Amino acid sequence: LNGYISAIAFVINELYPKETPLAEDVGIKNFFKAKLHTDMKLPNIYQETWDVQQVITVIKKWETNEKLDIKKLQEKAVVLLYIASMWRPHSDVVRIQWQDVHFQQTINGTVTGMIIIARNPKEIKSKMSKIRIIKDEQVYPVRAMWDFKERIQDKRQGVTDKDTFFLSGINTEKP
């Protein structure tokens, strides 16, 4: 496409040297800008960004949720949520509001899944993820999120439902 642009501009400039150069025409600029945005650039499929299994292996070596301090439990919940939801870490996951984490439970209170909502993601529309139960509780994002929620209840004094689910500046003392 760039080759055609150059060729057309050269011919037009040769034929009409006193006219405004084609590259400066607003209509032409808008056309090529729109064309640029319609072309989808595919990622390099041969280059891995990171291996999820390596992260899961590390998390499996951590202590159980009950033995982790609150800061480490929050870290575990965030990382597992990144993997399960495939959302952007800083613009979506850490901005999740308390009111946007909905746990699903059986009649007897067993947690079976959760629904999370991102009200203001980088994309235009809100988005939602449903995360269900998996067998390995050590790497189960819903269990980590539930345990974290239960452990920070007392630290949320004066915090509203519109504040973020995850906390900054939490201490590292074990409960």
Instruction: Provide, rounded to the nearest whole percent, the portion of the chain with pLDDT above 70.
Output: 77
Q: 50 or 73: whose pLDDT is higher?
A: 73
| Residue whose C-alpha is closest to residue 74's, from 87, 93, 55 | 93
Cα end-to-end span (Å), the chain: 62
Cβ contact 78:109 at 8 Å: no
Residue type, 41: K
pLDDT for the residue numbered 166: 81
Please state, rounded to an integer, the average pLDDT across all residues of the chain.
78
Mean pLDDT for 4-29 is 73
Mean pLDDT of 76-82: 86
Does residue 35 come out as left (phi exceeding 0), alpha (psi in the -120 to 50 range) or beta? Answer: alpha
pTM for the full predicted model: 0.64
In one letter, which amino acid is 60? K
Q: Is the pLDDT of residue 174 over 50?
A: no
Q: What is residue 66's predicted lDDT score, i.e. its pLDDT?
A: 92
Higher pLDDT, 156 or 116: 116
